[in-house]
Amino acid sequence: MTVVKLDHALIKHKLTNIRKSSTSTKDFYQNVNEIAGLMAYEISKDFPVRQIEITTPICKSMQPELACEVVIVPILRAGLGMVDGIRNLIPTAKVGFIGLYRDEETLEPHKYFCKLPETIHNGITLVVDPMLATGGSAISAIQMLKEEGATDIRFACLVAAPEGVEALSNAHPDVKIYLASEDEKLNENGYIVPGLGDCGDRLFGTK
């Protein structure tokens, strides 16, 4: 299992912005996307490249270009908040969608949507969800992706509870986990402490 905590001053600063309950929906959405972009820069640093011949204004030259298909898979709804920030950096990435919601009583994930591109079989799949709480949603989404043929899967979240990191690492030890912060714990309602509240509602202004 590999867990990478992204240690960057801008990520920390923007994370503090979204933790504040006074942050507006617009600023919350913008900061989530910006953090996702900064994380993608780090996550993609070892993506494979191949040499291609190009012509510069001066001469022909062999230069590197990305040599892999990238599929971003947001877990709906909150994962949608991370997609644009990553696509700004990797515009060739395809996007698949997995819809899951957490039952408020049992905290069990329930699937309601799945639409994935063909390239899921032969590329790098980056599953994104700002919150990793019990880990149930991420574990279930990654299980679905493996059943659909994804092999190289990475998971990126903004805020994780230690309980979720442990559960996800145990369930899918082959999946590399990237996080911006590992917080203290889950509370009795399954919310991350100190966390940032309900991420989906804050992104889309639904409460």
* Residue burial 39-53, b: 16+ Cβ < 10 Å; e: rest: bbeebbeeeeeeeee
Distance CA 37, CA 35 (A): 5
Write out the two tokens for 95. 């996007």
Binding status of residue 34 toward ligand PRP by CB under 6 A: no
Report the interface residues with ligand URA, using CB under 6 A.
Answer: 78, 131, 133, 191-192, 195, 198-200
**Measuring CA to CA, how many Å separate 4 from each of 103, 120, 149?**
29, 23, 24
Q: Smallest distance, Å, CB 30 to ligand PRP?
A: 18
Q: What is the pattern of x (binds ligand PRP, CB under 6 A) and - over residues 148-177?
A: ----------------x-------------
Q: Please give the full DSSP string across 123-176, using - where no structure is assigned.
A: SEEEEE-SEESSSHHHHHHHHHHHHTT--EEEEEEEEE-HHHHHHHHHH-TTSE
Out of ligand PRP, ligand URA, none, which partner does residue 192 contact, by CB within 5 to 8 A per kind? ligand URA
Binding status of residue 144 toward ligand PRP by CB under 6 A: no
Instruction: Pick between residue 103 and residue 118 the one whose CB is nearest to ligand PRP.
Output: 103
Q: Smallest distance, Å, CB 26 to ligand URA?
A: 18
Out of ligand PRP, ligand URA, none, which partner does residue 145 contact, by CB within 5 to 8 A per kind? none
Instruction: Pick between residue 76 and residue 116 the one whose CB is nearest to ligand PRP.
Output: 76
Based on its alpha-carbon atoms, the radius of gyration of the chain, rounded to whole angstroms, reads 17
Residue nearest ligand PRP by beta-carbon distance: 200
- Binding ligand PRP (rule: CB under 6 A), the pick from 31, 32, 40, 129 is 129
Beta strands in the chain (DSSP E): 2-5, 49-55, 60-66, 70-76, 94-95, 97-102, 109-115, 124-128, 131-132, 152-160, 176-182, 185-186, 192-193
- Binding ligand PRP (rule: CB under 6 A), the pick from 102, 121, 146, 176 is 102
Catalytic residues: 102, 106, 198, 201
The DSSP symbol for 20 reads: S
Which residues of this protein are in contact with ligand PRP, per CB under 6 A?
75-78, 100-102, 107, 109, 129, 131-138, 164, 190, 199-200
